[in-house]
């Protein structure tokens, strides 16, 4: 059974069965309760990297030592639908792998994304919603 708190987080992330949702950057340290809640809400296992479809939502687990964040976000954006969103999960402050918010914002801006929201997604992880910069800019 999925924890009610994590089920609420899954709902807040906007995960719906009709969407294509890809998970990137998975490792043993991910929040397995959140992952289970996301899969339960989605109705299936999350799609893995390289599935070849344009995604509505990309869930990216990222840690400080993950490499070049701009490159990773650029890879994600290539597979993102025009009105899609990237949820980037990073360890909270004080945890191994913590990523400074300014690093996230700078990398996102470099690939045409903007930080639209930051939420608590569990005991050890925070989530940053990265929206395409072009959403709403045509008004």
Domains and CATH numbers, the chain: 4-132 (3.40.50.150)
Distance CA 80, CA 57 (A): 7
Residue labelled with tokens 């987080």: 9
25 sits in the region (left: phi over 0; alpha: psi -120 to 50; else beta) called left
pLDDT of the chain along its 139 residues, tens only?
Answer: 455 566 778 888 988 888 999 999 999 999 998 899 889 988 888 998 887 789 999 999 999 999 999 999 999 999 999 889 999 999 999 999 999 999 999 999 999 999 999 999 888 999 999 998 754 444 4
User: Do residues 118 and 103 lie in contact, with contact meaning Cβ atoms separated by under 8 Å?
Assistant: no
The whole-number pLDDT of residue 43 equals 87
DSSP 109: H
Whole-model pTM?
A: 0.89
Pair of tokens at residue 77: 């954006």
The whole-number pLDDT of residue 3 equals 59
The whole-number pLDDT of residue 1 equals 47
The whole-number pLDDT of residue 136 equals 47
């Amino acid at each position: 059974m999925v924890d009610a708190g994590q089920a609420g987080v899954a709902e807040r992330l906007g995960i719906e069965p009709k969407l294509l949702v890809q998970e990137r950057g998975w490792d043993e340290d991910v929040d397995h309760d959140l992952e289970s809640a996301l899969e339960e809400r989605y109705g299936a296992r999350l799609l893995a990297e390289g599935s070849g479809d344009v995604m509505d939502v990309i869930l990216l687990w990222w840690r400080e030592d993950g490499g070049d964040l701009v490159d990773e976000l650029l890879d994600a954006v290539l597979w993102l639908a025009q009105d899609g969103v990237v949820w980037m999960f990073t360890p909270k402050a004080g945890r191994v792998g913590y990523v400074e918010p300014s690093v996230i914002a700078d990398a996102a801006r470099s690939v045409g994304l903007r930080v639209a929201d930051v939420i608590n997604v569990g005991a050890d992880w925070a989530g940053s919603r990265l929206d395409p910069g072009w959403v709403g800019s045509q008004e």
